[in-house]
Amino acid sequence: MLKQYLHLKQTQKLSPQQIQLMKMIKLPTLDFEQRIKQELEENPALESGKENDPLDEQDNFDDSSDYDDNEHINADDINVDEYLSDDDIPDYRTKSNNYSEDDQQKTIPIAAETSLSQHLINQLYGFRFESEELEIAEFLIGSIDDSGYIRRDLGQIVDDLAFTQNIMVELDVVEQVLKRIQHLDPSGVGARDLQECLSIQLQRKSRTSDQAVALLIIDNHFDLFSKKHYDKLMSKLELTEEQLKSAIAEIERLNPKPGSSFAGQNKNIEQIIPDFIMKIVDGDLDLKLNGRNAPELHVSHSYNEMLKGYKASVDKSKAQHDAVMFIKQKLDAAKWFIDAVQQRQQTLMLTMSAIMAHQKEYFLSGDEKDLKPMILKDIADEINMDVSTVSRVANGKYVDTPYGTKILKSFFSESMTNDQGEEVSTREIKSILKTLVDQEDKKKPITDEQLAIELKNEGYPIARRTVAKYREQLDIPVARLRKQL
């Protein structure tokens, strides 16, 4: 049975302007510039650059005594005077930064060089291939990744050749063509795994005794070598420690990623544009927002002129009504966007100022030991904003400090209590952990359990599993894999 009934409930919804602001706060500098460019293209009522002073042009509109409010379209349509007011210079015409436009580097360099695939194909013409073999070779080169490896199974490549190139060929033919590709430069290219890559490079070297031992290790005892079971290697191959050390030195000279010198070419070079600039002036910290985050935006004068024309007209037709409604939409969107840009600037500066104040000792010294424990909620409570807003500000933003360009998230860390009852940052513990590993005897690396004991002696009582977690976060391998002869 169908029923109709009323149901009241309270809901919280963000306005379109709030949603726009949240999205803009999250954007780093380069993406923010692209967003402004997009808005300028889509909204003709929004203009960039320095604005000419329109006060003289608006003098004849100051006296509105001859203007009857009843001549407006409707109360909910548009208030023309709202857009023509010239009592004060609007906030969005002012700009509080000393960033010179000459210092702005808005272009990103592009590297235009020969790709790995093109480099390999160019070498193919120095070999004698049948027409079908040449097509297979080009197809195989197309399957080589940026590191110089063919990761796909050759059986799958045989199937692809049949279905996409209409080339029916046996697996052994593809393997023979691949062997010829593996003679191309750079040495080791076309390998299917690391073992084959290193073996190819050693085979192409003039064979010394050390290289012969190295090739024997790679071809026949790669598992023992990769797990650093050096004692078993010396026993199996009847080698002295010095002989094994020389053979390993030969292996370490090889390139595990032969295609890496070509990787990333013809792409934009990665460039970090800091969102904030921090300097030490007379022993105190000075923070500025990067000028690229404070563009000069204003409402188009031509749209204002259209409104003036409507205001001055006696007979207001439906066509004029529709035109003014369109102008209202564009002007509202332009003002909302300018307000969002302003609020973004204020939110970024407010958040970064709170971070700077919280980590003042670190920013003055540059020593990671001075980093205080800090989580997003600490800053959110301090500036009276939501944690999600602080997270948006910290995400993907960088600050140019006297000690290099740092990502904002690096200043946040959890805390733990040391043996003196003081709260310390986990970043400080990780720094000490890295120092202990760097200073260890590589012949007898320190285990996680020993590292936990060393940290406890330093005043940081943490468990072995916590040490293992921090070690993995620092990309430090286990003790066995850090062993050296």
pLDDT in tens, 421-463: 666 677 778 888 888 888 888 888 888 888 888 888 888 888 8
DSSP string, 212-253: HHHHHHHHH-HHHHHTT-HHHHHHHHT--HHHHHHHHHHHHT
- 3-class state of residue 281 by DSSP: strand
Residue with tokens 């009857």: 68
Greater confidence, 174 or 418? 174
Q: Which fold has domain 415-485?
A: Arc Repressor Mutant, subunit A (1.10.10)
pTM: 0.54
Strands (E) across 369-425 are located at 398-401, 404-407, 415-417, 423-425
Q: What is the pLDDT of residue 355?
A: 92
Greater confidence, 348 or 64? 348
Tens digit of each residue's pLDDT (9 = 90 or more) over 25-54? 888 888 888 888 888 888 888 888 766 554
Q: Which of 75, 70, 98, 48 is nearest to 287 (CA)?
A: 98
Domain(s) of CATH 1.10.10.60: residues in the chain: 415-485
* DSSP H helices in 43-103: 55-58, 80-84
Q: What is the pLDDT of residue 311?
A: 66
Q: How far apart are CA 400 and CA 273, in angstroms?
A: 9
* DSSP H helices in 275-410: 301-312, 318-358, 360-365, 376-383, 387-394
Tens digit of each residue's pLDDT (9 = 90 or more) over 259-303? 887 765 545 455 778 889 999 988 899 998 888 777 788 887 777
Q: How far apart are CA 41 and CA 35, in angstroms?
A: 10
